């Protein structure tokens, strides 16, 4: 008698996940929070010309990047227009300040209590950042003629609404982290990006006349996703040995244990792309205030140079700068993360050592050299993913699909992280998970 074919591994793992009451509750809770987020994203501020706002976002690449984090809420100028972007900015600022300010360094070494205090400071810093960004956004849109002029009281109410929307989304993200599955803030961003999939499908339908180009474009996206997965999971294993003392039979014995440190090829994540995109778009944003469409001047040239949608050869300059800055910021951010982790110091305090390498400065120099070498792979990978949309459009001649490399990184990273958490939950209950 032939055995019944087993269900696919992924499908079986999903069935197992929903068969467990506590895990099913976590999954459904996460989905419910995402539904609430999408409702909030559709609550608009008054006095907005949606048609003119849509055209403005098509012309302004920086606004498009910010709209990515808000899940389309900024394109509608809703109360959640800033999304969780101010919180991300506050987190990055705190990460940069911790190695510089001694008091923050002390807090970072106090364990869970210190991390909670730093997290509280990050939340307080989010409030003024959201207010400043919300006010600047409203003023900018007023100058563009897509938002009616507010009175002082109406402006205060609009800014407070935006701040409240941002903090509400951050709170929803923390609820997901505590009671749901995955990293809450990342899940919120992921939900906003996925909510725009119907728009991408509609854009793909518009490009159906160039069928061969559309198929090639899809293949490039699939290949890019595969490369992102490979480099996200890639790491270099550094062997480490620990010497421990065991008391047995009235005598003390020394036993050696071995493990390894996984140094990620891409330990910086998506942060370098956020930095580099902001830097390369900033000159064009400033120049837009001085440009004259009737009599083009130097500001118009700057706008074209730093415009990702500018025709060649001017548009090529933007992508070259984006590539170079992505590589530079990857090294910069990886160095900051490595200094905060203090791996040589942790090894020395725990009695660990790398075989063949002396503890202390020699180990620090060795680990620094390894990180610098593997970071080249991560930096080239991030920079290549960053410029992928440009080359995809040039190769396939598909101009209607606006695909974000940053969005791809976020989606793949969140999916992998969430799958690993589900995998851990299932393995604890002796079920097979999603990942072999």
- pLDDT tens digits, residue range 194-228? 777 776 666 666 656 667 777 887 888 888 888 88
Q: Note the pLDDT of residue 368.
A: 85
CB 169 within 8 A of CB 37: yes
The structural domains of the chain, with segments of one domain joined by +, span 1-198+413-436, 208-399
Q: Note the pLDDT of residue 251.
A: 57
CB 318 within 8 A of CB 279: no
Dihedral sign, Cα of residue 288, residue 291, residue 293, residue 298: negative
Q: Note the pLDDT of residue 66.
A: 63
Average pLDDT over every residue of 11-27: 77
SS3 422: helix
From 411, 418, 412, 408, select the one nearest 13 (Cα to Cα). 418
pLDDT band at 168 (very low <50, low <70, confident <90, very high): very high
From 195, 191, 192, 198, select the one nearest 31 (Cα to Cα). 191
pLDDT band at 40 (very low <50, low <70, confident <90, very high): confident
Residue 34 pLDDT > 80: yes
Q: Note the pLDDT of residue 124.
A: 92
What is the spatial distance between Cα 54 and Cα 343, in angstroms, rounded to a whole number? 48
Residue 2 pLDDT > 50: no
Which residue, chain included where needed, has tokens 């903090």?
167
What are the tens digits of pLDDT across the range 260-271?
788 888 888 777
Average pLDDT over every residue of 287-305: 69
Residue 9 pLDDT > 70: no
Average pLDDT over every residue of 13-32: 82
Residue 132 pLDDT > 80: yes
Residue 74 pLDDT > 70: yes
From 375, 416, 379, select the one nearest 263 (Cα to Cα). 375
DSSP characters for 239-269? EEEEEEEEEETTEEEEEEEEEEEEEETT-ST
Write phi, then psi, for 326 (nearest 5 degrees). Answer: -65, -40
Question: What is the distance, to the nearest Å, from the Cα of residue 66 to the centroid of all Cα atoms in its chain?
Answer: 12
> 1-198+413-436 and 208-399 share one CATH topology?
yes
Which residues, in sequence order, are CB contacts of 355 under 8 Å at separation 6+? Answer: 239, 241
Q: Note the pLDDT of residue 344.
A: 79
303 vs 231 pLDDT, higher one: 231
What is the spatial distance between Cα 61 and Cα 280, in angstroms, rounded to a whole number? 11
Q: Note the pLDDT of residue 430.
A: 63
Average pLDDT over all residues of the chain? 78
Q: Tell me the CATH number for domain 208-399.
A: 1.10.3370.10
CA distances from 19 to 8, 12, 30, 416, 426 (A): 16, 10, 17, 22, 11
What is the spatial distance between Cα 22 and Cα 2, in angstroms, rounded to a whole number? 36
Q: Note the pLDDT of residue 273.
A: 81
Q: H helices then E strands: how many in the chain? A: 17, 3
What are the tens digits of pLDDT across the range 238-254?
888 776 655 555 554 45
What are the tens digits of pLDDT across the range 307-337?
777 777 777 888 888 899 889 989 888 888 8
The CATH architecture annotation of domain 1-198+413-436 reads Orthogonal Bundle (1.10)
Q: Note the pLDDT of residue 284.
A: 73
What is the spatial distance between Cα 103 and Cα 365, in angstroms, rounded to a whole number? 27
What is the spatial distance between Cα 29 and Cα 10, in angstroms, rounded to a whole number? 21
């Amino acid at each position: 008698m032939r055995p019944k074919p087993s269900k696919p591994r992924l499908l079986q793992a999903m069935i197992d996940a929903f068969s467990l009451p506590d895990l099913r509750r976590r999954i459904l809770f996460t989905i419910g929070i995402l539904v609430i987020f999408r409702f909030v994203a559709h609550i608009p501020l008054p006095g907005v010309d949606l048609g003119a706002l849509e055209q403005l976002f098509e012309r302004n690449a920086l606004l498009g990047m910010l709209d990515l984090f808000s899940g389309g809420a900024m394109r509608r100028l809703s109360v959640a227009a800033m999304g969780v972007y101010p919180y991300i900015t506050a987190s990055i600022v705190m990460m940069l300040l911790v190695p510089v300010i001694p008091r923050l360094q002390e807090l970072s070494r106090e364990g869970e209590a210190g991390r909670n205090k730093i997290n509280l400071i990050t939340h307080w810093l989010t409030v003024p950042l959201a207010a400043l960004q919300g006010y600047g956004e409203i003023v900018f849109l007023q100058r563009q003629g897509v938002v009616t002029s507010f009175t002082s009281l109406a402006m205060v109410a609009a800014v407070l609404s935006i701040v409240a929307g941002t903090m509400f989304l951050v709170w929803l993200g923390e609820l997901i982290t505590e009671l749901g599955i995955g990293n809450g803030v990342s899940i919120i961003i992921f939900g906003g990006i996925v909510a725009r999939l119907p728009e991408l499908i509609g854009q793909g339908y518009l490009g159906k006349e160039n069928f061969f180009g559309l198929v090639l474009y899809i293949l490039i996206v699939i290949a890019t996703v595969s490369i992102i997965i490979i480099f996200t999971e890639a790491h270099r294993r550094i062997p480490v040995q620990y010497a421990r003392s065991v008391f047995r039979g009235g005598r003390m014995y020394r036993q050696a244990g071995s493990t390894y440190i996984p140094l990620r090829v891409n330990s910086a994540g998506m942060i370098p792309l956020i930095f580099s995109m902001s830097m390369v778009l900033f000159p064009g944003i400033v120049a837009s205030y001085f440009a004259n469409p009737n009599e083009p001047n130097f500001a118009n040239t700057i706008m074209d140079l730093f415009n990702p949608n500018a025709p060649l050869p001017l548009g090529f300059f933007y992508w070259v700068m984006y590539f170079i800055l992505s590589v530079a910021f990857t090294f910069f951010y990886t160095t900051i993360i490595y200094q905060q982790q203090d791996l040589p110091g942790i090894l020395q305090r725990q009695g660990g050592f790398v075989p063949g390498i002396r503890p202390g400065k020699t180990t620090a120099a060795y680990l620094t050299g390894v990180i610098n070498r593997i970071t080249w792979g991560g930096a080239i990978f991030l920079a290549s993913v960053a410029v992928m949309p440009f080359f995809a459009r040039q190769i396939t001649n598909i101009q209607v699909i606006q695909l974000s490399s940053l969005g791809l990184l976020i989606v793949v990273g969140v999916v992998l992280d969430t799958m690993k958490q589900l995998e851990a939950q299932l393995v604890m209950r002796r079920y097979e998970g999603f990942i072999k």
